[in-house]
C-alpha cells in the first residue's frame, strides 16, 4: 500500500498531483467562469424560448383578431348590401290614386294593368330602373279618358305611387240606345249608373241609334265648346237651357229654353257662336217690347238674320 505524507509546502506526495495555491485559484476561477458562461447560456436559451413563445402567442392573437375583424366587416357589408337592396326594391303592387274620377273605372281597374306592367319586367322591380313612362303610355293607350299619369318613386317604402287624372265630364249625352257622360274632347267617360237629374251637367239629346262605349269620340271638341259657350252666355242673361239637341245631319244645335214654348236653332258650323247668341238676344228683346213670344222656334243660323215662328 502507498502511504501519503503531507509536507509543509502543501504538496501531495505519491500519485496525486500537487497544485500550488495559485494554480488552485486559477482552477477555481476557470471553473466559476465556465459555470458562469453555462449559466448565461442557459439563461439566454430560456429567454429565447420565452421570447419565441411570446412571439407565437402574439401571432396567434393577431391572426384571431384579423379574422374576427374580417368577419365583423363582412357582416356589416352584408347588412349594408341587404338594406340597400331592400331600400331600392319595388313591390309589384302599386298605390294608385284616381283624380277627377268621374268614369265608371275605379282605381282597381287601373291598378290591375299597372301591376301587370310592374311584374312583366325585372327592371320594374327596382327604383333606379323602373320604366314609369312605359306604364303611363300603356294606360293612356288603353284608356283614352286618362288625361295624365304621374308616377312617384318613393325614397322610403317599396310601393310605386301613381296618380291618374281622368277627364272631367262636361255633358250628359243620351241617344236612342243608352246614355253616358262626355268630356271636353267629346269622349264618353261613363255609361253606367248615370242619373240625368242628379248629374248637374248640361243635358244633350243625340237622336241616333248609337250604343255609347267608354272612350268613344261621339262629339267633336268644337261642338262641346259651342254648347258650353251658349250655356255660359245665356246664363249671364239669366236665361237657362232645359236641354240641347244635336242634329248631326243638319249641323244644327237646338237649345230648348226653360219656361218657354220655343227653342233656338244654332248653326254648329259657325266659327262665331257669340254672333248667333247676340242675334237671339236681340230678337227676344224686340219681341218683348211688343209683348210677343215665338210659339215654336227662333232660327239664328243665317248671319245677320233671324226667323221665328
Integer Cα distance of 163 and 47 in angstroms: 80
Q: How many CB atoms lie within 10 A of CB 20?
A: 11
Please check the confidence at residue 230 and state whether its pLDDT lies above 60: yes
Going by CATH, does the domain composed of 95-166 fall within 3.10.20? yes
Better pLDDT: 58 or 111: 111
We find that the CATH architecture of domain 169-308 is 3-Layer(aba) Sandwich (3.40)
Could you tell me how far CA 61 lies from the centroid of its own chain?
52
Q: Which three cell numbers stand for residue 17?
A: 498531483
Integer Cα distance of 149 and 143 in angstroms: 11
Query: CB under 8 Å to 217, separation ≥6 — which residues?
Result: 185, 186, 187
Q: What is the pLDDT of residue 29?
A: 54
Helices (H), the chain: 21-88, 107-120, 132-142, 221-236, 273-289
Integer Cα distance of 60 and 54 in angstroms: 10
Please check the confidence at residue 279 and state whether its pLDDT lies above 90: yes
Q: State the sign of the Cα–Cα–Cα–Cα dihedral 289, 295, 301, 305.
A: negative
Backbone angles phi, psi at 62, to 5 degrees: -65, -40
Query: What is the enclosing helix (H) or strand (E) of 179?
Result: strand 179-183
The DSSP bridge pattern shows strands 188-190 and 161-166 to be unpaired
Please check the confidence at residue 55 and state whether its pLDDT lies above 80: no
Q: What is the pLDDT of residue 238?
A: 93
In the predicted model, what is the mean pLDDT of the chain?
Answer: 78
When mean pLDDT is compared across 32-41, 89-98, 178-187, the lowest value belongs to 32-41
pLDDT band at residue 257 under the 50/70/90 scheme: very high
Structural domain boundaries in the chain: 19-88, 95-166, 169-308
Integer Cα distance of 251 and 266 in angstroms: 9
**Average pLDDT over every residue of 42-58:** 56
* Nearest partner of 244 among 191, 206, 283, 284, judged by Cα: 206
Please check the confidence at residue 42 and state whether its pLDDT lies above 70: no
Q: What is the pLDDT of residue 242?
A: 94
Integer Cα distance of 166 and 45 in angstroms: 93
Percentage of the chain exceeding pLDDT 90: 25
When mean pLDDT is compared across 21-30, 93-102, 131-140, the lowest value belongs to 21-30
Q: What is the pLDDT of residue 63?
A: 74
Most confident listed range (29-38, 90-99, 154-163, 248-257):
248-257
CA angle, 186 then 189 then 193, to 5°: 130
Amino acid at each position: 500500500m502507498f502511504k501519503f505524507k503531507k509536507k509543509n509546502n502543501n504538496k501531495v506526495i505519491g500519485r496525486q498531483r500537487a497544485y500550488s495555491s495559485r494554480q488552485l485559484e486559477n482552477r477555481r476561477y476557470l471553473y466559476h467562469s465556465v459555470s458562469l458562461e453555462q449559466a448565461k447560456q442557459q439563461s439566454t436559451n430560456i429567454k429565447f424560448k420565452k421570447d419565441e413563445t411570446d412571439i407565437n402567442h402574439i401571432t396567434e392573437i393577431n391572426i384571431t383578431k384579423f379574422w374576427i375583424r374580417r368577419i365583423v366587416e363582412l357582416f356589416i357589408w352584408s347588412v349594408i348590401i341587404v338594406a340597400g337592396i331592400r331600400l331600392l326594391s319595388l313591390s309589384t303592387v302599386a298605390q294608385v290614386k284616381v283624380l277627377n274620377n268621374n268614369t265608371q273605372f275605379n282605381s282597381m281597374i287601373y291598378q290591375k294593368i299597372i301591376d301587370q306592367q310592374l311584374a312583366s319586367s325585372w327592371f320594374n322591380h327596382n327604383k333606379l330602373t323602373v320604366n314609369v313612362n312605359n306604364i303611363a303610355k300603356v294606360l293612356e293607350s288603353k284608356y283614352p279618358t286618362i288625361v295624365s299619369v304621374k308616377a312617384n318613386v318613393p325614397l322610403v317604402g317599396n310601393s310605386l305611387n301613381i296618380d291618374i287624372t281622368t277627364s272631367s265630364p262636361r255633358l250628359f249625352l243620351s241617344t236612342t240606345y243608352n246614355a253616358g257622360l262626355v268630356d271636353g274632347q267629346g269622349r264618353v267617360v261613363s255609361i253606367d249608373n248615370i242619373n240625368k237629374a242628379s248629374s248637374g251637367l248640361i243635358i244633350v239629346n243625340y237622336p241616333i241609334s248609337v250604343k255609347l262605349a267608354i272612350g268613344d269620340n261621339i262629339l267633336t271638341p268644337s261642338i262641346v265648346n259651342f254648347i258650353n259657350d251658349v250655356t255660359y252666355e245665356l246664363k249671364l242673361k239669366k236665361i237657362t237651357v232645359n236641354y240641347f239637341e244635336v242634329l248631326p245631319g243638319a249641323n244644327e244645335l237646338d237649345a230648348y229654353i226653360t219656361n218657354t214654348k220655343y227653342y233656338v236653332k244654332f248653326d254648329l258650323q259657325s266659327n262665331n257662336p257669340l254672333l248667333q247668341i247676340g242675334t237671339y238676344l236681340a230678337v227676344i228683346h224686340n219681341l218683348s217690347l211688343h209683348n210677343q213670344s215665338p210659339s215654336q222656334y227662333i232660327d239664328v243660323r243665317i248671319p245677320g238674320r233671324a226667323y221665328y215662328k
